[in-house]
Amino acid sequence: MRTLADPATRHWDFPRGIASVALLLRYGVERGLPRHDLLAGSDLTDGQLADPAAEITAHQELAVVRNLAARLPDAGVDAGRRYHATTFGVLGHAFLSAATVQDAVDLALRFLDLSFAFTAPTAALNGDRLVLSLDPGALPADVAPFLVERDLAAIHTVIGELVGGEVPVVSVELRHPAPPDLRVHEEVFGVGPTFSAPRDQSVVDAALLARALPLASPEATALCEQQCEDIAARRRRKPGVQDEVRRLLERSARFEETMPDVARALGLSPRTLRRRLTESGTGYQALLDEVRAARAVVLLADRGLSVERAADALGFAESASFIHAFRRWYGTTPAGFARSRDA
């Protein structure tokens, strides 16, 4: 089996545009779900949602997905077929202007982190078959089936738009159990999937790859590729997982979460979280100290709490531990800090 191209990234923890969340919100609201319920836990603002150029974190979109999947667990395929080439912005225009389907697939894999995929797709040739595989990786179990179906349906929908017709699907396999109603699956894929399978994949006639696309334009493709390169380079320079850890810690009540707790909330193993933080030049304890130190100042200065009450609010077992930590953070005691502010 020959892999066509390797994805630029194999994990979903990267910044993304707002279009996918906006689409999912519309989808849920059209089905009678309250918008505020779908946004719960995402920290998304009305300003972000109203800005078509806004960029958000993967975990903010994941929060919306989790809320939607909890209420409509079998809607992954139906939601996925709402994704069109234009949903992907400049990357979608790169698809449309590509010379062939294979060129479009190569672009999709090359700029995976400009898509909204949570699964890591690969495309490989096996004789006269093209095998499109999805890897849910460390996705939380409560959203993995929904996202696998959404991502695969979106892939098939976009390819169908590019060629102006049905995708020649041979088979579809999905690891999760079958839902009660398979009509949408059959409409989107053209075949009834095999469920409780060992893998998540679809198999397509490889002749599809050679299909010329009707809107092919080398000049437009070159321009779109350059724009994709610029966006991807900027996003890849952005801090990643450390910002997500920091955001979770900032929402903590008393900092009682352990690193495994935070890793689980991010859909990562503790080992993966530790590695990614190390790659970012930081660690869990350093981020915990940073957030705790910032909150300590708020509690002491803005809220006027005593040392004892501040220590308790920050999760310290005793005031002495808090005083020791405060001295390490700021080079003075809480009392010394208070005196310096009063001076």
Tell me the pLDDT tens digit for each residue of 99-148. Answer: 999 999 999 999 998 999 999 899 999 999 999 999 887 678 889 999 99
343 or 164, higher pLDDT: 164
The CATH class for the domain spanning 241-342 reads: mainly alpha
Alpha carbon distances (Å) from 67 to 27, 37, 39, 142, 217: 12, 7, 7, 10, 40
- What is the CB neighbour count within 10 angstroms for residue 236? 13
Predicted pLDDT of residue 91 = 96
Banded model confidence at residue 342, pLDDT cuts 50, 70, 90: low
Least confident interval from 2-11, 67-76, 333-342: 2-11
Per-residue pLDDT tens over the stretch 32-53: 999 999 999 888 888 889 999 8
Per-residue pLDDT tens over the stretch 226-284: 999 999 887 776 556 888 888 888 888 899 999 999 988 887 788 888 888 887 768 89
Range list of H helices, the chain: 19-30, 35-39, 46-50, 58-71, 76-80, 90-97, 101-110, 144-163, 183-189, 218-237, 241-250, 259-265, 270-279, 284-297, 307-313, 319-330, 334-342
The mean pLDDT value for 293-305 works out to: 83
11 or 83, higher pLDDT: 83
Cβ atoms of 149 and 77 closer than 8 Å: yes
341 or 157, higher pLDDT: 157
Banded model confidence at residue 340, pLDDT cuts 50, 70, 90: low
Burial class (CB in 10 A: 0-12, 13-18, 19+), 47: exposed
d(CA 193, CA 273): 34
Predicted pLDDT of residue 264 = 86
Res 157 pLDDT > 90: yes
Banded model confidence at residue 341, pLDDT cuts 50, 70, 90: low
151 or 166, higher pLDDT: 151
Res 177 pLDDT > 80: yes
**Topology adopted by domain 2-235:** H-NOX domain (3.90.1520)
Predicted pLDDT of residue 267 = 76
Nearest to 107, CA basis, from 220, 260, 240: 220
Least confident interval from 73-82, 285-294, 314-323: 285-294
Per-residue pLDDT tens over the stretch 316-336: 999 999 999 998 888 889 888
Predicted pLDDT of residue 13 = 63
Query: Domain spans of the chain?
Result: 2-235, 241-342
The mean pLDDT value for 150-155 works out to: 98
Radius of gyration for the alpha carbons in the chain, expressed in angstroms and rounded:
24
Q: Give the contacts of 60 (CB within 8 A, at least 6 positions apart).
A: 21, 42, 43, 44
The mean pLDDT value for 207-231 works out to: 95
Predicted pLDDT of residue 2 = 58
Banded model confidence at residue 12, pLDDT cuts 50, 70, 90: low
Res 190 pLDDT > 70: yes
Res 9 pLDDT > 60: no
